[in-house]
């Protein structure tokens, strides 16, 4: 499913985020920037330990912030590490929205035109997919409607059925269907 927002498109797709050909993949990170479970581990497995090493070299990072590393062996050129939880492994929709805005700021700073995001906070963070979808989609839509961005394509890549349904429903509400 896809929607046009401003001069960009937002899409919701099923699959493996590590296969996407975009300027940057988004990694749901912790403050220490270790990549040991979930999407982070998949990114490290396919892209190489260099991604984690570079992220940790730049860290630690506060919850709600983001940083950029090379994409290693991924098809994506970069990885943006969105810090959605601290050592307590807790997060919420407000933190997810703040981290999503930080991702968008990093993308703009580096003039990226395409990014792929997972459902931040829905794994170890235990945030309901609907709450994550609302927080992330609203942040992205507001950013794209602002018009001052190089981003042309934002893809939410979901692995699980419940997350895919939640993001699809939110896109229908926030951006309309194309």
Cis peptide upstream of residue 60 (ω within 30 degrees of 0): yes
Residue 45's pLDDT band (boundaries 50, 70, 90)? very high
Q: What tokens were used for 84?
A: 């959605």
**pLDDT tens per residue across span 77-117:** 999 999 999 888 899 999 999 999 999 999 999 999 999 99
Coil, strand or helix at 136: helix
Residue 178's pLDDT band (boundaries 50, 70, 90)? very low
pLDDT above 90 (res 177): no
pTM, two decimal places: 0.94
Q: In whole angstroms, what is the distance from residue 64 CA to residue 101 CA?
A: 9
Residues contacting 62, CB < 8 A, separation 6+: 31, 83
**What CATH number was assigned to the domain covering residues 2-175?**
3.40.220.10
What spatial distance separates the first Cα and last Cα of the chain, rounded to whole Å?
A: 7
Residue 176 has what pLDDT?
55
What are the residue ranges spanned by the domains of the chain?
2-175
């Amino acid at each position: 499913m896809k929607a046009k927002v401003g001069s960009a498109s937002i899409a919701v797709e099923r699959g493996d985020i590590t296969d996407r050909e975009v300027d940057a993949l988004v990694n749901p990170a912790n403050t220490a920037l270790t990549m040991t479970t979930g999407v982070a581990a998949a990114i490290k497995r396919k892209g190489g330990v260099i991604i984690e090493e570079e992220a940790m070299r730049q860290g630690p990072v506060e919850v709600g912030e983001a940083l950029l590393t090379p994409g290693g062996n991924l098809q994506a050129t970069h990885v943006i590490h969105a810090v959605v939880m601290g050592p307590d492994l807790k997060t919420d929709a407000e933190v997810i929205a703040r981290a999503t805005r930080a991702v968008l700021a990093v993308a703009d700073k580096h003039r990226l035109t395409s990014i792929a995001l997972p459902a931040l906070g829905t794994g170890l963070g235990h945030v309901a997919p609907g709450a994550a979808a609302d927080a992330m989609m609203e942040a992205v839509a507001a950013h794209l409607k602002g018009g001052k961005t190089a981003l042309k394509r934002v893809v939410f890549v979901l692995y699980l059925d419940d997350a895919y349904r939640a993001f699809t429903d939110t896109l229908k509400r926030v951006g309309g269907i194309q």
